[in-house]
Amino acid sequence: MNEVSDSLQLLIESLRLAKKFLLDTLEKSNLNLNIYTHLDADGLSSGAILGKTFLRKRIPFQIRVLKQLEKEEIIKLAKDAIDGAKFIIFSDFGSGQYLELINHFQLDEAQVPFLILDHHLPQEVSNKEDPNIEKIHQDSIPWHINPYFYGIDGSTEISGSGLCYLFSKIIDKKNVDLSPIALVGATGDIQNRGSNHSFTGINSYILKDAIEADLIDEVDDLSFSPIKPINEAIAYSNNINLPGLTGNSSTTLKFLKTIGILMENPDGNIRTLNDLTQSEKRDISSKIIEYALKYEIDPDIITQNLIINRYILKNEVVGSELHELKEFSKLLNSCGRSENASLGIAIGMGDRRIAYQKAQENLVEYRKKISNALNWIQKDGKIKEMDYIQYFYGEDVIADTMIGTIASMLNFDRSGIINNIKPIFGCSKRETKGVYKISARASNKVVAEGVNLSEAIRKALSLSNLDELGGGHPPAAGTVVPIDKIELFLKNCDKIIKEQRHITNDTK
């Protein structure tokens, strides 16, 4: 067996123990099953997979979607669980808060059983080589499942929904039909980071399940959105920066016309990537490479980002947001971040009527908010820089539920809005709680140079004498910070990032 197969086998053995723990506890005790999950695409996919699994198993359950699993929320959930006689599943979060969960759910006078299915770094763990990982694993069998326990990178090789899928498949092999939803979640967490945006690690095994079940097709395709008008898809792509075309749909339209690409179908509808023939796609590809060479852009960079592995959901309507993994994940993300998480859960569980129609309407409004936010940041020069980080405040324009999405989009932007060699920190105020929601992002290049945002945020919280929880992954992490401590926290983040980069440089 290879290393990935060995790790997967160890993970599956632990999931079997978790299944026994869950089903035995529910059988012996008169407990209500409650699922708590995160609001992003991976969290909603996780919740949908678990919901569908227990629905088929005829086990009553409730799903609740949370912005984040913070200390204040944990205290409330624990009290509610004790009063309501509950068994809790935490999906797509919980590892970064597992000590808090023990402290509040495992009291002498009341024991609330819970199960964590999470892919984030565990609390008090700084990276995947941390020696504490094995002890945490041994101390939390069978109620804590995390890929890092088995040498699997939770930031690239498996998502929260991937864990939930494997758990679901152990409960019943027929749940293999939920494999596409796991890949929707992985795509939402930008885990398609292999060659040509492919899946690696355990995600590749989940993809194999989906392909063998005839649920997904893997095709080579242009990297642009398959459902936007083709000129807009090219102009507003985050994958390629083409001077004169990027950000300018009118110029891109003229460019396509010179190639001979028709912009309307015979029925009068505007053409998208889905409507193009393979010959037309080849023409666009070759002309874009030609265009890039005129501007002395490295052809390898263009070809690496121009052609990708696209994953098509074979049972979904062609041209719909559900027909392709990336667009599906965007739809779910828009639901969760617009206080319509229930729509995303319903769609993930199979609703293609009322919930889907409402989600489409919601997506239109969500995209307007995203566009307005990005324009606002660009026009008003909202990005501030320190020596080693950059940051922006959402003010009254960017809600705390959207700050992570904006930070991610800025992180992948190559048009010069941000300094791509520094991590970006988005800060959105929650007035009612007196805190800022922090979402930090770093490019793969910055992470390769030693930056670990999960570790940086935790250390900065400690340096700032704050007891808030924080963490995530090396390229993406978050926390909350009291309003009056935000400047101190950011300064300490800058200090920690400086140390991380210097340590890496010293070891080269």
Residue 84 counted as domain residue: yes
Pairing of strands 32-38, 61-66: parallel
**Which DSSP string corresponds to 438-476?**
EEEE--HHHHHTT--HHHHHHHHHHHTT----EEE-SSE
Residue 178 counted as domain residue: yes
pLDDT digits 0-9 by tens, 62-73 = 999 999 999 989
Say if CB 281 and CB 271 are below 8 A apart: no
Let me know if 60 is exposed, middle or buried by CB neighbors in 10 A (0-12, 13-18, 19+): exposed
Last residue of a domain, one of 167, 182, 197: 182
CA angle centred on 299, ends 325 and 248, rounded to 5°: 65
Q: φ, ψ for residue 54 (rounded to 5)?
A: -75, -30
Per-residue pLDDT at 89: 98
Per-residue pLDDT at 508: 47
**278 shares its domain with 348:** yes
pLDDT band of residue 186 (cuts 50, 70, 90) is very high
**476 shares its domain with 419:** yes
CA angle centred on 435, ends 488 and 395, rounded to 5°: 90
Q: φ, ψ for residue 191 (rounded to 5)?
A: -95, 0
Per-residue pLDDT at 505: 58
* Cα–Cα distance for residue pair 225/218, rounded to 1 Å: 16
**302 shares its domain with 447:** no
Last residue of a domain, one of 336, 358, 373: 373
* Cα–Cα distance for residue pair 381/383, rounded to 1 Å: 6
* Cα–Cα distance for residue pair 131/488, rounded to 1 Å: 30
**154 shares its domain with 8:** yes
**Which DSSP string corresponds to 232-270?**
HHHHT-SS---TTTTT-HHHHHHHHHHHT--SB-TTSPB
* Cα–Cα distance for residue pair 286/306, rounded to 1 Å: 10
CA angle centred on 454, ends 431 and 238, rounded to 5°: 80
Distance of CA 156 to the CA centre of its chain: 10
Residue 104 counted as domain residue: yes
pLDDT digits 0-9 by tens, 422-439 = 999 999 998 778 999 999
Residue 192 counted as domain residue: no
Domain assignment of residue 280, given as a range: 222-373
Residue 508 counted as domain residue: no
| Mean pLDDT taken over the chain | 93
310, 315, 319, 324 alpha-carbon torsion, rounded to 10°: -30
**401 shares its domain with 485:** yes
Kindly report the pTM of this predicted structure: 0.91
**What are 342's two structure tokens?**
């229930």
Residue 204 counted as domain residue: no
pLDDT digits 0-9 by tens, 316-337 = 999 899 999 999 999 999 999 9
Total domains in the fold of the chain: 3
What pairs with residue 222 in β-bridges? 307
